[in-house]
Structure 1
Amino acid sequence: MKHAGIAMLASLWAAALPAAAQSRGELLYTTHCSACHSEQMHWRDARAARDWPTLEAQVRRWQGSIGLAWQDDDVREVARYLNERFYRFEPAAGTRSSLGGAPPGAISGAR
């Protein structure tokens, strides 16, 4: 009985924790893109994004195709989110992750 009470208390505590905040790029993507783009879209062999410039170009292309009229910052934020979540491409010069550093998987100074 004592263990059940502890487990219940732990589950209530975990449920009370705030959910992790989504980045702007993630919010834009889940709102406007994820209905048509499943995770398979990003890791399939025939994907159109092969590096950072083509990833950003694809985000720009598709947002324009559906008439979103995103600003350059919106395109970059969605590309950052996709890069952090799926691709791990070397970022373009001056491109930072939403956490303020280089995107995960980026190796500074290595080539």
Structure 2
Amino acid sequence: MDKVVTIAERDAREAARRRSAADAIIAKLKAFAISRGGRFLVFGSAAVDAMSSESDLDVVVDFPSDREGEAVDFVEDLSRIHDLPVDYYLRSLASERFLARIANEAVTLS
């Protein structure tokens, strides 16, 4: 008989999968930022190592205007490849209040 998987076990597995996906995405974002002269700011549960089975990846895209679209496309592609929802925010449109709120936990990738 197959072992019954509890909800807690399923949630723990999904949280671990999402953490692994976030780590892979973060590594690729850093390399992209270095090669393209911009930066990403990761904040939220991925930045403070508190991902759950429902976590997404929160990212601020901070690139020169002529590369911003390419950076957003890259983020969206990684989200699909790694099956991890990503909420991204454009630095060019973000309020100073929002940036101040995430400043203490944000991890800069550049």
Please identify the structure whose Cα radius of gyration is greater.
1
**TM-score after normalising by structure 2:** 0.31
**TM-score after normalising by structure 1:** 0.31
Would you tell me which structure has more strand in proportion to its own residues?
A: 2
More contact order relative to length (CA 8 Å, sep ≥ 6)? 2
